[in-house]
Structure 1
């Protein structure tokens, strides 16, 4: 069956060619400035602009059901409303699914967006839109794998705009690069540096940090290799690279040398190792986040933004059962496997950030690539893909909690007002981080590209 096209969304543009070139010439001058300098250059901007210093992006890979999360429909027909009831929350008038008992008490910190929508039911290409704020090079496709034509992940772009000191990465992804075994393309595009180049790929932290013997594989020294020996090897390789660069000044060699240097700096840094050492957290804190893979990744994200890392992305992990892609057994999966760790980790993160004085300067996003079909599949108690209406959460970073943006219809099948694309959702994050709508950066061929093309949801900001 053919899928509907998103072409009408992709062809819109805010500027004509002359404006594009003028904006590009100006924006490229400021693209590498620190965030505060760029914000000052752009002016104070509209409400909420530049409130956040960091983002924790919780990507619910697979597509959570809107009806079993934050847009329950108790008055819908039985074949739509499902098995669970809505509950009141700390935000007056805002109800969510009863499965989110912990988060319900923190909804005064959270804004719910109930009118997210697009027309791409494919995991891979819609994942690209969610993670980058741009439509994928190949839309409506589960067959197109990552490529250098991809728009950079939001974290890669922030790494380009706000590089960290060498001892910490600017962009961290945990605990894997999202992949779907049923998709011919496998790994979702939009998870790396894309047209910015591999220099801006994420620092990937894999494995299960809830395990007692876990450590960061990328920071693990080879057996018998001391930090001093590592530094000696770095010096030797530095000399070799200098000689090689003198013979070949190609961008590829320079880029490889830069990545190599960054790897050695991270490996030899005590600050880096401490940032990723969860044993530095009290047992009670680790318990509150949940002694599971997702909970400990979310705790790690808090540790990293606390130390200045501007972007941490947590992809829902490989559970061997298709993640949030609940085509079958939707209600048992939501109740027993998916919501409990998600609810515990997110609610604890919000409290923890607030208690540490970090919530106002950290924007937290929770969203999937699409939602689920309002009509339950009676054959296997599942819900199929549904990009036409779904929800997401935003908190912190200047977002006013306790509110709902947009409404869906009586069955959560389509937006009723204030429709929002994944491009707008990403634009809101960029806005909170102080990135102007007109900002452009050059791709590897020197052509100016918009950082984002959606429009921020300004009413969300206090």
Structure 2
């Protein structure tokens, strides 16, 4: 029976516990390491209510405006929800973008649109933000360029598998062991044993080198395995994922809840040199009991942890080189339903942007008196993406080769939001 090199590598990888190889993606070997531009995407999965967060309408009828009251922020004329006091006092550090509008009120399609900046199409599989950053600004060899905490939101699309994220497999939880899939060696796999297994795989590579033409998937596996070994054997990489290095004060500042620990991990990864981190705060799909869900947990947790991350980046002088985007996939219905909830609403939503060249302390765009839609043309997810890439330092009109046989423009239709960036 003939055993292909691909199959033997698969068996060898499993035997060597090279689980990181399935999740690690790096930029090409010829890519130069950039000087330090990084980015964070905080994804509010489920679709947060714009009326109950950053686009409040206190003069609308009660069935629209809801239970929460707006409060004044540190930025003149900018008012946000009363359950976001820490962010209110830091409004000079971010811009609120209102009047973002699209038509995809479906979680899957809306997420794909907001995570890629291109209207989904069956013809082209567009890459998410982190994959583009991973390609353009690869991290140092011992670090992953792109990390997604727990699981990926979207994929690398036409850029290829090597630009997908390293997914941690779980979220860090205070007081519990945090094992990053593929980085934390189990009790049976020492670093020395890992080296011996890797040497064995190299012997297999040599034996099969002239036996068959290698396809891209096999070459990618080889690259991932090599990078996996570099990370597992790097104290710097392992330390970046180890929250035990943080003081109680920092743990408390970010919050001992799951999202707080995820944001603390995000901050550590950026500090270590990871280029892009995606962190999820889910639970915003509030079809019922909207105000209790938001007021008791979602808004307080977002307020505490996002403010802590902005503060720490600012204290370190890192905020100017770290672009931050906070967004969901759509907004929610302006009119409250019979279950004290709000349903899907793509005609109006809002996002936050901070760091890099963002002009903080302002709102851009506006919605009508009931937040049903934008005043004027509004902005699109394409515009949001073009602005985010521009802030990171990537031209949104960059062209890449794709499997459709022609160059593909990174952001096809969007334009940078006027006044957002310095």
**Is TM more than 0.5 here?**
yes
- Structure 1 residue 153 corresponds to structure 2 residue 118: no
CA–CA separation in structure 2 for the residues paired with 1:416 and 1:445 = 37
Q: Which moved more, 1:387-396 or 1:148-157?
A: 148-157
Matched, 1:380 2:343: no
Q: What does 1:128-143 align with in structure 2 at a 5 Å threshold?
A: 128-137=112-121
Aligned to 2:78: 94
Give the 4+ runs in structure 1 shifted more than 4 A. Answer: 31-36
Map Cα deviations across residues 102-158 of structure 1 (whole Å, 9 max, x no partner).
Answer: 1111111110001111011111011011111111225xxxxxxxxx95211110111
Give distance in 2, aligned partners of 1:242 and 1:409.
Answer: 66
Greater displacement, 226-235 / 348-357: 226-235
Partner of 1:66 in structure 2? 50
Matches within 5 A, 1:371-410: 371-377=331-337, 379-410=338-369
Q: Equivalent residues in 2 for 1:51-450 (5 A)?
A: 53-137=37-121, 149-178=124-153, 191-212=154-175, 213-248=177-212, 249-317=214-282, 323-377=283-337, 379-417=338-376, 419-444=378-403, 447-450=406-409
Instruction: Give 5+ residue unaligned stretches, structure 2.
Output: 1-29
Q: Give 1:444 deviation, angstroms.
A: 4.9
TM-fit CA distance, 1:218 = 2.5
Structure 1 245/420 Cα, relative in aligned 2: closer, same or farther at 3 Å? farther
Root mean square deviation, CA, Å: 1.8
Q: How does 1:32-51 map to 2 (within 5 A)?
A: 35=34
Unaligned runs of 5+ in 1: 1-30, 37-51, 139-147, 179-190, 318-322
Q: Structure 1: how far apart are the matches of 2:389 and 2:208?
A: 39
Structure-2 separation of matches of 1:196 and 1:274: 29
How far did 1:90 drift? Answer: 0.5
2:359 aligns to what SS in structure 1? coil
2:33 and 2:139 in contact (8 A); partners too: no
- The whole-number CA distance in structure 2 between the counterparts of 1:73 and 1:200 is 42
TM-score normalised according to structure 2 size = 0.88
**TM-score (norm. length: structure 1):** 0.81
More deviation in 203-212 or 162-171?
203-212
For residue 211 of structure 1, report the CA deviation from its aligned partner.
3.2
Q: CA deviation at 1:245?
A: 3.9
Aligned length: 390
How far apart, CA to CA, are the structure 2 residues paired with 1:220 and 1:82?
A: 46
Structure 1 contact 245–254 (Cα < 8 Å) conserved: no
**What's 1:11 paired with?**
none
Q: Write the distance in 2 (CA, Å) between the matches of 1:171 and 1:432.
A: 17
Q: In the TM superposition, what is the alpha-carbon distance from 1:209 to its structure 2 partner?
A: 1.3
